[in-house]
Chains A and B, each alone.
Chain A
Amino acid sequence: MNLTLKIWRQKNADAKGAMETYQVENISPDSSFLEMLDILNDQLINEGKEPVAFDHDCREGICGMCSLQINGEPHGPGRGITTCQLHMRKFSDGDTIFIEPFRAKAFPVIKDLVVDRTSFDRIQHAGGYISVNTSGNTQDANGIPVEKHKADKAFDAATCIGCGACVAACKNASAMLFTSAKVSQFALLPQGRIEATERVLNMVKQMDLEGFGNCTNTGACEIECPKGISLENIARMNREYLKASLK
């Protein structure tokens, strides 16, 4: 396959960026999208130019490091996958592909397609944990039975990989899906109920401080989420927040 790539290039956080056009040739349809970018980079290095910086690590869809807004959608046109799981067979010979960084005020660009997502970490610092020390004498793991249905829902929420696709897809750059996934996981488990009130108030406060937008329930986040995190979690967080505020 031969492709035209339009890629956002930006030297560093302070520089002004712009879209640049590149051509790549003889791409195998079996290659992954990131392998296609590897080939472009190899080509650029051989031409004595600077390769395109992009984040990636596990390349099997679980670490959440890869990002990229591809043709206007986070992680590209596929559903339920990350960019590293996107394969070139999804495109056709001769296509023009737009590649941009995830855009949000809370995700400033570091270089080219690499953005700073530490705002997500700070939301987790605000309450994304259960306060239990490591001692070796916590209660036996089977000491608190958990209703299977709730345990499964908690797991589904906990599968969030923190990639930021929800923010990138949202027209408001809202981080509600991300934040609600963690709030939900703990709200559904008996271990997490003890700190539920403080947790939801603090995490939402931090989320707002970081400059993410509001949720307007468009549902784009759920559709673009590589792990299919449900909008139900946002509703649950809204509920938890209301309850906590009225306490």
Chain B
Amino acid sequence: MSGIIKSSIARKVAMALSAFFLLVFLLQHFLINFTSVFSADTFNELSHFMGTDPFIQFLMQPILIIGVVFHFVMGFILEARNNSARNVKYVKYSGGANASWMSRNMIYSGIVILAFLGLHFYDFWFPEIAHKYVHALHEDPGRYYGEMVVKFHNPVRVGLYCLAFVFLALHLMHGFSSAFQSVGFNNKYTPAVKKLGKAYAILIPLGFIFIALFHYFNSL
């Protein structure tokens, strides 16, 4: 059993499984956010549900947090090991000749996303936790839309968000299909998976950017 946990392949598979979970999460996060563009009420309703449903709050949320932390920690562990596997570096290394920038720099796109998550938690998650559990304030099912929109009045924050989404796109551009390869999925459907991955990697972050810009310009 120890081999399963320690082996390079097992770690990659674990990385991929957490990635799958995050991909699904990201999609649902996007879908909920997107409702804010056309219906504040729907957005409030969904946010209220997500914020108060015990299944989401006490089961899915911890899993998500563990998934995120795991994905990052494992990413750093793998990076450290990979770095040490070439103890003397090349004087000249043409990485671009045989692999995409995205695939070679997952750690950097990942770090940018991590930094963004810090900002994002500061903006939403910490206040939310404080609201619900620290101060135990009264729940107002209509508060979410307003709390969200106000954050996007600040052009600096909107800029940072957009930048982070670009890195998210780069991360996904490699990560989506890579996760399939890691769990051993490579067959006649692989070209389709790759296309789907590209579409996902572009459309989801683009959608997030659209939402951010929409609320910013709406506020002017």
Please list the residues of chain A having a beta carbon within 8 angstroms of any beta carbon in chain B.
6, 8, 19, 69, 71-73, 77, 98, 100, 103-106, 109, 169, 171-174, 176, 201, 204-205, 207-208, 211-220, 223-224, 231-232, 234-242, 245
Contacts and interface: CB of A to CB of B under 8 A. Distances in A.
Contacts, number: 145
Given A100-B90, A218-B104, A245-B4, A174 B85 contact: yes
27 contacts: A8-B91, A72-B92, A72-B93, A73-B98, A100-B90, A100-B91, A103-B89, A103-B90, A105-B86, A171-B104, A173-B82, A207-B8, A208-B7, A211-B85, A213-B81, A214-B81, A215-B8, A216-B106, A217-B181, A218-B99, A218-B103, A224-B98, A235-B181, A236-B184, A236-B186, A238-B182, A242-B9
Interface string B1-39: 001101111111100000000000000000000000000
Closest 5 CB pairs of A and B: A239-B184, A72-B94, A235-B186, A213-B85, A172-B82
B184 A242 contact: yes
A220 B98 contact: yes
Interface in B94-112: 94-95, 97-100, 103-104, 106
B99 A223 contact: yes
Given A173-B85, A213-B82, 5 more contacts: A104-B85, A213-B84, A213-B85, A240-B184, A245-B10
A235 B184 contact: yes
Given A72-B94, A100-B90, A204-B7, A217 B82 contact: no
A106 B98 contact: no
Contact of B92 (A71, A205, A232): A71
Contacts of A218: 98-100, 103-104, 174
A234 B92 CA distance: 27
B122 interface: no
B114 interface: no
A8 B87 CA distance: 16
A183 B3 CA distance: 17
B68 interface: no
Interface in B183-220: 183-187
B91 A231 contact: no
A109 B87 CA distance: 12
B78 A214 contact: yes
Q: Give chain B's interface secondary structure class.
A: helix
Contacts of B78: 214, 216
Contacts of B10: 241, 245
Given A72-B90, A245-B4, A172 B99 contact: no
A98 to B, nearest CB: 4
A217 B186 CA distance: 12
B92 A238 contact: no
A21 to B, nearest CB: 12
Nearest to B95: A171
B32 to A, nearest CB: 30
A221 B162 CA distance: 34
A73 B94 contact: yes
Contacts of A235: 181, 184-186
B106 to A, nearest CB: 7
B156 interface: no
Contacts of A231: 181, 186
Interface string B159-181: 00000000000000010011001
B174 A217 contact: yes
B88 interface: yes
A236 B93 CA distance: 29
A109 B93 CA distance: 18
Contacts of B100: 218
A189 to B, nearest CB: 19
B99 A100 contact: no
A229 B84 CA distance: 25
Contacts of B186: 231-232, 234-236
Given A216-B78, A220-B99, A242-B13, A205 B3 contact: yes
